[in-house]
Amino acid sequence: MKIVVLAGGISTEREISIVSGTGVCKALRGKGHQAILVDVYCGDARKTAETAFSGSYDVDADAAYIRSFDEKLEEMSSRSDFFGPRVLELCRAADAVFLALHGENGENGKVQAAFDLLGIRYTGSGSLGSALAMDKELSKQLFRENHVPTPAGIVLRKNEERRAAAENGVGLPCVVKPSCGGSSVGVSIAHTEEEYGRALEEGFRYEDVLIVEQYIKGREFSVGIVDGEVYPVIEIAPIQGFYDYHNKYQAGCTVETCPAELSPELTKRMQEYALQAYEALRLESYGRIDVMMDEANEMYCLEANTLPGMTPTSLLPQEAAALGMDYASLCEKLIAVSLRKSN
C-alpha cells in the first residue's frame, strides 16, 4: 500500500509525534509498504504524488528534515493554511494516511473532518469522536451521562473569578489540567492553596479553559481498545512524582507492567469501564483509556487517547505485545481496522 505517515504539527507534542511517526514509517516499510513520513504543517515541497512513493527512501533523513523546521515554527505560525506544501496532494495519492499526530489539530477532529470532506482515508476515530475525547470538559459530561465513573471536577475559564480550592467544590488535593491538552503538558497536582494558585497559572499558560478535578490516590492504568477488542491492562508506576510529560517519555522514569498485576475480577471490571468510556465518546477503530484505581479498588476513568503514542515502547504496543503481536503487525492492524470504517 501507498501510505503517508502524518506527523509533526505545531502542538506541544510535536516531538513525540515525530518519534511515533518515524517508528511507524519504518515498521510499515519493513512490511513491504510504500510508506513516507510527512509533517502535516511544514509539508514537503520536494515530493510529488507521482514520485514520492517510488524508489529508495530514507526515513531518518525525512525525520531530520521535519525537525529542521523546529526553530521556524513560531515564524510560520502566522500563516492561515494549516496543511503544509504538498500535504493534501500526497495524502490524496495514498491508499491510507496513518495519523501519528498528537495533541491539538491532530487529535481534536479538525484534520479528520477535512479528510472526510476530501475523501482521504485515515487511521483512528472520526471527527466527532476525536473532538469529544480531546475536550476533557465534554468527556466528563459524557462519562457522567453514560454512568462511567470519573473523578469529580469543575471547569475554570481564564476570565472568570477564581475561588480558593477549599471553596470550589473539589477541595485539596486536586489535579489541574488544560481541558484540551495531551501528554500531561501543563498538568499539576496541588496539595495547598499556594500550589493551587501556581497550578492555575501554569495551566493557563497553555489554554484558557482548565479542568480542576478530585485527586485520586492510588494506582494508574491504561487500557487499549482495538476494533472493539479490549487489550490487556497496563499499569503505569512513575518512580518519582506522577505520570507527567517527563516520566512518560524519559527512559527509566516509569515502571510499566503488562499485563497489570490485578485479580481477574478487577481486570474485567477495569476493561468493562474502559469499553464504556470508549463507546460514550463515540470512538472508532482504536484508542486508549486512562484509569485510576484508589486504595479501596474504586475505579475512575480519566480521559481517552484517540491517537495514542506509537513509539515502539509506547503503552498500546506493549499491550499488543502481551497478546503476541509485534509492533509492525500492530501498525498494519490499525490501518486495516480503520479502513473498514470508511468502506
* Residue entry with cell 509485534: 326
Q: Considering Cα of 68, then 73, then 76, then 81, what sign does the dihedral take?
A: positive
Residue 311 has pLDDT above 70, yes or no: yes
pTM: 0.91
In this prediction, residues 257-271 reach a mean pLDDT of 98
Tell which residue, 153, 96, 166, has the closest CA to residue 341.
Answer: 96
Tell me, what's the pLDDT at 78?
Answer: 79
Bigger pLDDT: 203 vs 334:
334
Tens of pLDDT, residue by residue over 79-124, are: 889 999 999 999 999 999 999 999 888 899 999 999 999 999 999 9
Tell me, what's the pLDDT at 69?
Answer: 96
Residue 245 has pLDDT above 60, yes or no: no
Tens of pLDDT, residue by residue over 33-63, are: 999 999 999 999 999 999 999 989 999 999 9
CB-CB neighbours of 189 under 10 Å: 17
In this prediction, residues 284-313 reach a mean pLDDT of 95
The pLDDT-based confidence of 160 (bands split at 50, 70, 90) is confident
- The DSSP 8-state label assigned to residue 331 in this structure reads H
Residue 248 has pLDDT above 80, yes or no: no
The pLDDT-based confidence of 205 (bands split at 50, 70, 90) is confident
Residue 176 has pLDDT above 80, yes or no: yes
The pLDDT-based confidence of 343 (bands split at 50, 70, 90) is low
What is the distance between the alpha carbons of residues 92 and 97, in angstroms, rounded to a whole number? 9
Tell me, what's the pLDDT at 162?
Answer: 78
C-alpha cell at 144: 457522567
HSE on the CB side for 65, CA within 13 Å? 18
Provide the β-strand partners of residue 304. 289
Tell me, what's the pLDDT at 244?
Answer: 45
Tell me, what's the pLDDT at 327?
Answer: 97
Q: What percent of the chain has pLDDT over 70?
A: 94
Tell me, what's the pLDDT at 147?
Answer: 96
